[in-house]
Amino acid sequence: MVSRFLILLYALVSYTLFTLSFLYALGFVGNYVVPKSIDVGNPANASEAIVVDLLLMSLFAIQHSVMARPGFKRWSARLLAPACQRSTYVLLSSLVLLLLFWQWRPIPTVIWQTDGLVAWLLISVHWLGWLIAFASTHMIDHFDLFGLRQAVAAWRGAKISGQSFRTPLLYKIVRHPIMLGFLLAFWATPEMTSGHLLFALANTAYILVALQFEERDLIAEFGATYQNYRRRVPMLLPRLFGRRQTESAPR
């Protein structure tokens, strides 16, 4: 009973930290509200800023990708109860993100600046990106992705079910709408500085590499179902003109 309560508490703390880091990310990337953002904070010379920022983003990429691999999950299962695994991933990802926000060095040189209608259009696409990313987590399984479903199952003494494969709504248009949302949020800005550009470029490269690993794991887990899905649905860029579907979509 006590351990089940602690697992639930741990999942709630991790989820709260994720929520805070996600909300901070909105302010960080868009330069809204928060005290320290992508273009506001400790001044540094450009070379120091590039090195520190790349190290911070690499730390996030390594933590986020290594911990997501099945081999790491099997190894960590010897140390962590299954119900705690996803929460630990979420907790560490959130902590690394908060470290990035805290230690980020801005590079303020302006690359492009817009105003009027173009600026509003870019701001709208930026917010649409965040909305797509957040809504898409609910389309596959938000509470499973962030570890709460596993902790609630443990609390109830129920079996923790494995990940299920889903393709609802936006997943019928692209295979990775969460990542598409992030890319829109990172690139669509009325004022692009060198620091923001470094952030957008490095994260785009990371997303493109990380998706190769994620898809390899999805093929290993769901086999022909994912291969068929891959043939029918584009990775990140929606098809402008629909192609006739020849196979029935997995649900």
Ligand X SMILES: C[S@@+](CC[C@H](N)C(=O)[O-])C[C@H]1O[C@@H](n2cnc3c(N)ncnc32)[C@H](O)[C@@H]1O
Q: How far is the CB of 193 from ligand X (least distance, A)?
A: 26
Q: How far is the CB of 150 from ligand X (least distance, A)?
A: 13
**How open is the CA angle 224-225-231, to the nearest 5 degrees?**
85
- Choice between 22 and 127, CB closer to ligand X: 22
Distance between CA 238 and CA 240 in Å, rounded? 6
Distance between CA 197 and CA 189 in Å, rounded? 10
Position 214 contacts ligand X (CB under 6 A):
yes
Position 179 contacts ligand X (CB under 6 A):
yes
Q: How far is the CB of 165 from ligand X (least distance, A)?
A: 5
Contacts of 123 (CB under 8 A, 6+ apart): 188, 190
- The window from 45-53, 110-118, 150-158, 174-182 that contacts ligand X (CB under 6 A) reads 174-182
- The window from 51-59, 70-78, 107-115, 172-180 that contacts ligand X (CB under 6 A) reads 172-180
Could you say which of 37, 93, 136, 203 contacts ligand X (CB under 6 A)? 136
| Identity of the amino acid at 1 | M
DSSP 147-183: THHHHHHHHHT---PPP-----GGGGT-S-HHHHHHH
Sign of CA dihedral 248, 165, 70, 221: negative
> How many CA within 13 A on the CB side of residue 7?
22
Could you say which of 129, 176, 198, 200 contacts ligand X (CB under 6 A)? 176
- The window from 13-21, 87-95, 114-122, 173-181 that contacts ligand X (CB under 6 A) reads 173-181
Q: Are 192 and 111 in contact (CB under 8 A)?
A: yes
Among positions 142-171, residues that touch ligand X (CB under 6 A) are 145, 163, 165-167, 171
Distance between CA 124 and CA 102 in Å, rounded? 27
Q: How far is the CB of 157 from ligand X (least distance, A)?
A: 25
Q: How far is the CB of 81 from ligand X (least distance, A)?
A: 19
Q: What is the per-residue binding string for ligand X in 68-87, x denoting contact by CB under 6 A?
A: --------------------
Q: Which residues bind ligand X (CB under 6 A)?
A: 136, 140, 145, 163, 165-167, 171, 176-179, 214, 218
